[in-house]
Chains A and B, each alone.
Chain A
Amino acid sequence: MKIRESPDYSSIHRSFAARQFVGLFPVSHMNCCVYGCLCYTTVWIGIHFRIIPASAFPARPDLKFETQNTSNSINVRNIVRSMIMKKRIVFSLFVCSALFVSECMAEKQDTGITAEKPYAVLNDGSNLIRIERTNFANDSTATASVSRTCPPYCVNPHNIADSVDTVAELEVIEFMESSYMSGEGVIVDVRTPELYAQGTIPGSINIPLTAFEQSADTNEIKPLLERFGVRARGEVGAVVRALEKMGLFGGEYKTDRWDFTAARDVLLWCEDALCEESPRAIRALLSLGYPPEKLFYYRGGMRMWQSLGLTTVVPESQSKFASK
Chain B
Amino acid sequence: MNRYFIQIAGCVLLSSALLPFQVAAEDLEVGITKDKQYAFVDYDNDLVKVQRIQDTSHVIDGSYAKTSRPCPPFCVNPIKIADGVNTVGEIELIKFMETSYALGHGVIIDARTPSWFKKGTIPGSVNIPFTMFERPADDPELAAVLEQLGAVNHESAGSITRTLEKLGLFNGDEKTDQWDFSNAKELLLWCNGPWCGQSPRAIHGLISLGYPAEKLMYYRGGMQMWQSLGFTTVIPKAESTFASK
* Interface residues in chain A, defined as those with a beta carbon under 8 Å from any beta carbon in chain B: 110-115, 133-142, 144-152, 154-158, 166-171, 273-274, 299-300, 303-304, 306-309
Contacts and interface: CB of A to CB of B under 8 A. Distances in A.
Interface in B49-71: 52-61, 65-71
6 contacts: A112-B75, A115-B71, A136-B68, A155-B229, A157-B91, A166-B79
Given A151-B31, A168-B220, A137 B228 contact: no
A249 B29 CA distance: 51
Given A134-B67, A135-B68, A171-B78, 11 more contacts: A111-B68, A112-B72, A115-B72, A144-B60, A145-B60, A147-B230, A148-B30, A168-B220, A170-B76, A170-B77, A303-B228
Interface in B186-238: 194-195, 220, 224-225, 227-230
A114 B71 contact: yes
Nearest to A168: B79
A2 to B, nearest CB: 27
A154 B32 CA distance: 6
Contact of B68 (A114, A137, A157, A274): A137
Contacts of B228: 145, 303, 307
Given A115-B75, A168-B220, A147 B67 contact: no
Given A142-B60, A158-B92, A308-B76, A150 B70 contact: no
B75 A113 contact: yes
A111 B69 contact: yes
Nearest to B91: A157
A38 B58 CA distance: 48
Contacts of B54: 147
Contact of A138 (B56, B66, B91, B194): B66
B70 A137 contact: yes
A306 B67 contact: yes
Contacts of B67: 133-134, 139-142, 306-309
Say what secondary structure dominates the interface of chain B: loop
Contacts of A306: 67
A307 B91 CA distance: 21
A151 B60 CA distance: 21
Contacts of B87: 158, 166
A146 B56 contact: yes
Nearest to A170: B78
Interface string B121-148: 0000000000000000000000000000
A142 B52 contact: no
Contacts of A304: 194, 225
Contact of A145 (B71, B91, B229): B229
A156 B91 contact: yes
B90 interface: yes
Contacts of A168: 76-79, 194, 220
Contact of B66 (A139, A146, A152, A303): A139
A1 to B, nearest CB: 26
Contacts of B119: none
B68 A139 contact: yes
B229 A274 contact: yes
B159 interface: no
